[in-house]
Amino acid sequence: MTRAEPDAEAFVAMAERLARLDPRLSLLQAGLLAAVHLDIAHDSRSFARLLGIEHALVLREITALCEAGDLLAVTRRDERTMRTFFAPGTGGGRLLSVLHSVDTLPVPPAG
C-alpha cells in the first residue's frame, strides 16, 4: 500500500496563511507547522526530502521554532542521523487554532 501524495496546494496555502498570521515566521518555519498539521511530515528528514532542501537547514528552523514561543516541540531525536521528530508546541497549537477560527468566519456577501 502506498501513501497518498500530499496536497501541495493545501500545504502552500496553509504555510502562507500561517506566515501572514505570525510575521515572525519564515515561510519555511510556517511550512514545518503546516506539514505536521496536515500530516505530511512529522520529522526533519522527511520534510527535507519532500521539499528538496538540506536537512541541516530544516534542523536550524526546528530549533528556531522551539525557541520562539514554543511553536514547535521536539518529541524524539535520533542521535546518529540527527533526524528530529516534532509536533506543534503550545504556541504552535494556539496559532493553528487561530488559523482555523479565521477559516470558519462567515464570508460577507459581495455587493
Beta carbons within 8 Å of 85's beta carbon, 6+ residues apart? 42, 43, 44, 74, 75, 76, 77
Q: Residue 105: its pLDDT value, please?
A: 44
pLDDT per position as a tens digit, 83-111: 999 999 999 889 888 887 765 544 445 55
CB 12 within 8 A of CB 63: no
Structural domains in the chain, sorted by start: 8-101 (1.10.10.10)
Q: pLDDT in tens for each of the 111 residues of the chain?
A: 345 566 889 999 999 999 999 999 999 999 999 999 999 999 999 999 999 999 999 999 999 999 887 899 999 999 999 999 999 999 988 988 888 776 554 444 555
d(CA 17, CA 13): 6
pTM value is 0.83
